Amino acid sequence: MIAVQTINGLQLGILLFLLSSGLTLTFGIMDLINLSHASFYMLGAFVCASLTVLTGSFLLAIVMAVPITAFIAFVVEWSIVGRLYQRDHLDQLLATFGLILVADTLVHWFWGPSGLAVPLPAWLQGQVSLGASLFDPAIVIPTYRLLVLGFGIAVALGLFWLVGYTRTGMLIRAGASNRVMLSALGVNVRLLFTGVFALGSVFAALAGMLIAPVTEASIGMGNDIIITAFVVVIIGGVGSIKGALLAALFIGLVDTFGRAFLDVLLMQIMSSQAAETAAPAISAMLIYLLMAVILVVKPQGLFPPAQR
Amino acid sequence: MLEVSALSKHYGGVKATDQVNLNVKAGECHAIIGPNGAGKTTLIGQLCGELLSDAGVIFFQGRNVTGLPMHRRVQLGLARSFQITSVFDDMTVLANVAVAVQANRGHSFRFWRPVSRNESINARALEVLRLVGMEVQHQQLAGALSHGERRQLEIAMALATEPQLLLLDEPMAGMGAEESNAMLAMLQALKGDITLLLVEHDMDVVFSLADTISVLVYGQVIETGSPAQIRNSATVREAYLGDAG
Amino acid sequence: MTDSRLPTGVALITLILLAGVPLSLYYAGHIFWLDIFTRAVVLAIAAASLNLMLGFAGLASFGHAAYLGIGAYAVGVPAYYETYGGGGMIASYSGWWHLGLALGASALFAAVTGAISLRTRGIHFIMITMAFGQMLFYLLVSIDEYGADDGMTVDLTSQFSHVDLSDPVMLFGICYGSLLLLLLLQYRLKHSHFGRILAAIKQNENRTRALGVNTFYYKLTAYVLAGVICAYAGVLMANFSTFISPGMIEWTRSGELMFMVILGGTAWVFGPVVGAMIFVLLEYFLAGLTVYWHLPFGLLLILTVLLFRGGLGGMLQRIGATRGEGQS
């Protein structure tokens, strides 16, 4: 049980990281608070679902969906989001909230009101046995979950490489700590911003694509998880990719374990009936309580960015 | 009045202020000078409570204020003016000063009576405005004032908190010659009534106002003395005046 | 100085229409319109309470709908227990008990979440208030007894000795009277000692602290006050719709409240009322036009932000100012 839940928690963590890395980047560099991330998460899932049905291949669908969502991100950035960088956070929030409404409705119009399932190829539908551990006589995990985990880790590593070891990454880091300096260096700031927005959006879309076979694509699917991604960004420290990764894995594990084991834990200290009533309520609030505690101790999150 | 010992603040590996010692005596005008990046702004921030110090202690009127938040220090009589003019643009000149008067009079948890008709607050605010020669403009919106007038208002707001010690962060910044002279005259008049701690780039102003000067270089006080001592100090000349040409 | 006669005139006309139109239509037999307007008035109260934070003190809380939920569940939960048993002391149909519970619970929730979120500023504050709102949402979703995400119906409205809230005209009157009272209260508050300190915090918090003001307690007071008033709106909402669900407090609801305030204009005490009216009427007409009504709605939101700074209140003030100049 514990091993399986750990894998589940890590998988949730990886998805949260894909979502929150884009959020934390766009905030750190463009000073933009961006709700439309939720829409790209949903778009990724729908585009991928349609392409999977169309091409018959899930992997091919992912490969094709990435440039499509990137293109949509370019259009959105060019037409609307690009005009928001100089505005205050409230304006950004409302305008991108408007974008969510527009996106939800367009998806409704295009794909219809009900969800869209993504069929997995046969080789991903099976389960893998990973032997036994101290707590589990036999660990059996769906192959697809392992794939998600591996893929997510690969993308995370790619992002760290991009930000840490490339010229673009150097510009991104420079932009996060000092925006004025960038234009002084002669960098095309507008282009960099567009690129970062598209990158973040594609990451969100990738998260949506990966989750689609598990939950199916549905309208408004991003509107809940985006708030969890916010919690990750806050806990990790706004603007910090490392913080986002650690906080995402942490939140993923805490949330999963809370839902799976809290009732058992509570039964140690209260009657089983009381525990069964209290456990769902507490586990629903767990990550927010955690956030509150962390903020009391460190109002800027665990890894606040260096001086701006 | 103000005793500072071994005060330090680090940003990452950079020491913005490093073991600063300072002793400001009651009634004097104490100036802090130093090249750009010497840590003057950080020091002001630490003294007024905007920044928390990494090490060292600050005693104000014999009381340890090192850990006190900014608003508490103001209530004890340690006020500041800002280098970048910080006035409430959407309020009238009178209201700007009245905010400070309100703060000085205790809490403002009064929800019903219009504050603009509180004659006791208005009278005190006008009195302070008269002190800086601005009572004529008291109806104007602060946002509509000239730069020099905004600087004056800035000082008036600090004065309205009834400070024992006033930290002046570059009061002359961005002023023309005429405006500077008016400000200088105003500060001359304040001197003696209120202890002043002045951070300023304009050496003419510093040498005509200050009783004591401390020189801050790379976060450290390298010399403290009378204007004459500082003018003739070899250390200062080498580290600072020499650099400036 | 700007001319404030135009906004004041618009406010008065709106207030007259807000009462006159639904009541005359109601007595002419078009009962339905009273519903629309009652909803608009209740939302106006909620939006006005948000403006107390947003417009007065510059605190952009994005979890304000949570308080609507607290108020609504403070009606629904005691009534549920009274009907079906259980709940111990909480069970009651008494309106005063519902009100007391709503105000007490909202004050407590606001004090605790406010004390944490007000330690932060700007973007952090926005995200944290959003997260706390969502926390309450998930809490309600997780409680099966109260219908989880399906919510539950309120079988009997809050009971008062001389007032029958199940009478739609009476309910509208109560809501409308509450709104008038709240507007008077907010007008006085804005120009009070407290209001000036809030205005100073909104413009430059650091400067305000440097004048010796402990800004935290002023912000917290505004935060709690706004929460309590919004919970009151929630009590009215539950009695009006007789159905409550976690859907009332999802963060998108908070976004809508925010939209009403911004649309009407934050600098104007009356702004949220205009915003709420436009919102409810738009929602009604657009939803009647097409199932895809969120599309024009979302576009309108984006356009409001991009082109319409200061909201309607700001626009009216500008028009008033130019006309005033032309005359003199």
Separation CA A44–CA A22 (nearest Å): 14
A-interface mutation test, from C50, C54, C127, C300, most A Cβ less than 10 A away: C127
Are B62 and B3 within one domain?
Answer: yes
Q: Tell me which residue of A81, A100, A91 sits closest to A38, measured CA to CA.
A: A100
Are B147 and B88 within one domain?
Answer: yes
**Interface contact C184, partner A, CB < 8 A:** no
Average pLDDT over residues B125-138: 89
Are B69 and B119 within one domain?
Answer: no
Are B73 and B145 within one domain?
Answer: no
Tokens 């589940």 identify what position?
Answer: A8
pTM exceeding 0.95: no
Q: Which residue has the higher pLDDT, C112 or C4?
A: C112
How does residue A132 score in pLDDT terms, banded at 50, 70 and 90? low
Residue B34's pLDDT is what? Answer: 86
Residues of chain B with Cβ-Cβ distance to A306 below 8 Å are 12
Separation CA B199–CA B40 (nearest Å): 7
- Residue that finishes a domain, picked among B163, B179, B194: B163
What does the block give as tokens for C49? 């309470």
What does the block give as tokens for A239? 């603007």
Separation CA B236–CA B206 (nearest Å): 15
Residue B245's pLDDT is what? Answer: 41
Are B53 and B32 within one domain?
Answer: yes
Mean pLDDT over each residue of chain A, to the nearest integer: 85
Structural domains in chain C?
Answer: 5-327 (1.10.3470)
Per residue in C305-321, is it b (16+ CB within 10 Å) or e — as a string?
beeeebbbbbebbeebe
Describe chain B by its helix, strand, coil percentages, rounded to 5: 40, 25, 35
**Interface contact A306, partner B, CB < 8 A:** yes
Separation CA B163–CA A145 (nearest Å): 66
For C136-157, what is each residue's pLDDT tens digit?
A: 998 999 888 888 888 898 888 8
Q: Which residue has the higher pLDDT, A298 or C314?
A: A298
Residue C2's pLDDT is what? Answer: 45
Distance from CA of A193 to the nearest CA of C (A): 19
A-interface mutation test, from C54, C124, C132, C141, most A Cβ less than 10 A away: C124
Contact B199/B31 with Cβ under 8 angstroms? yes
Position B239 pLDDT exceeds 90: no
- CB within 8 Å: B102 and C193: yes
Domains of chain B: total: 2
Are B54 and B30 within one domain?
Answer: yes
Widest distance between CA atoms in chain A: 67
For C193-225, what is each residue's pLDDT tens digit?
A: 999 999 999 999 999 999 999 999 999 999 999
For C30-55, what is each residue's pLDDT tens digit?
A: 888 999 999 999 999 999 999 999 99
DSSP letter at C154 equals -
- Residue that finishes a domain, picked among B132, B163, B194: B163
Q: How many CB atoms lie within 10 A of CB C36?
A: 17
Residues of chain B with Cβ-Cβ distance to C208 below 8 Å are 99, 103
Q: Which residue of A has its CA nearest to B12?
A: A306
How does residue B241 score in pLDDT terms, banded at 50, 70 and 90? low
Q: Which residue of B has its CA nearest to A305?
A: B12
* Closest Cβ–Cβ partner in C200, C210, C213 for B48: C210
Residues of chain C with Cβ-Cβ distance to A83 below 8 Å are 306
Residues of chain A with pLDDT > 70, as a percent, come to 92
How does residue C328 score in pLDDT terms, banded at 50, 70 and 90? very low
Which residues, at least 6 apart from A26, have a Cβ–Cβ distance to it below 8 Å?
A32, A34, A196, A197, A200
Residues of chain C with Cβ-Cβ distance to A236 below 8 Å are none
For A220-259, what is each residue's pLDDT tens digit?
A: 898 888 989 989 998 998 888 889 999 999 999 999 998 8
Which structural domain range is residue B57 located in? Answer: 1-78+215-245
The partner residues of B199 in beta bridges, in order of sequence, read B32, B169
Distances in Å between the Cα of B113 and the Cα atoms of B193, C4, C187 are 35, 21, 11
Tokens 């960098």 identify what position?
Answer: A187
Are B159 and B92 within one domain?
Answer: yes
In this prediction the ipTM stands at 0.89
Residue C326's pLDDT is what? Answer: 46
Are B27 and B48 within one domain?
Answer: yes
Please give the interface size between A and C, counted as residue pairs whose CB atoms are below 8 Å apart. Answer: 130
CATH number of domain containing B60: 3.40.50.300
**Interface contact A112, partner C, CB < 8 A:** no
Is residue B199, in this structure, part of any structural domain at all? no
Is residue B64, in this structure, part of any structural domain at all? yes
Separation CA A101–CA A222 (nearest Å): 12
Are B56 and B97 within one domain?
Answer: no
3-state secondary structure of B189: helix
Is residue B179, in this structure, part of any structural domain at all? no
DSSP letter at B169 equals E
Is residue B5, in this structure, part of any structural domain at all? yes
Q: Tell me which residue of C69, C56, C49 sits closest to C225, measured CA to CA.
A: C49
Q: Tell me which residue of B200, B173, B181 sits closest to B133, measured CA to CA.
A: B181
Are B19 and B62 within one domain?
Answer: yes
Tokens 């790619």 identify what position?
Answer: A158
Are B61 and B100 within one domain?
Answer: no
- CB within 8 Å: C200 and B115: no
Are B1 and B70 within one domain?
Answer: yes
3-state secondary structure of B174: coil
* Closest Cβ–Cβ partner in C116, C138, C306 for A285: C138
Residues of chain B with Cβ-Cβ distance to C219 below 8 Å are none
Contact A303/A240 with Cβ under 8 angstroms? yes
Residues of chain B with Cβ-Cβ distance to A307 below 8 Å are 11-12
Residue A135's pLDDT is what? Answer: 63
Q: What angle do CA B182, B183, B187 make, to 5 degrees?
A: 120
Residue A133's pLDDT is what? Answer: 64
Contact B206/B33 with Cβ under 8 angstroms? yes
Contact C67/C227 with Cβ under 8 angstroms? yes
DSSP letter at A136 equals -
- Residue that finishes a domain, picked among B163, B187, B202: B163
Residues of chain B with Cβ-Cβ distance to C189 below 8 Å are 111-112
For A30-43, what is each residue's pLDDT tens digit?
A: 888 889 999 999 99
Separation CA A39–CA A107 (nearest Å): 10
Contact A98/C308 with Cβ under 8 angstroms? no
On the CB side of C54, how many CA atoms lie within 13 Å of its CA? 34
Q: Which residue of B has its CA nearest to C202?
A: B88
Q: Tell me which residue of A186, A233, A226 sits closest to A40, measured CA to CA.
A: A226
Describe chain A by its helix, strand, coil percentages, rounded to 5: 75, 5, 20
Element (H, E) at C68: helix C65-84
B-interface mutation test, from C192, C207, C211, most B Cβ less than 10 A away: C211
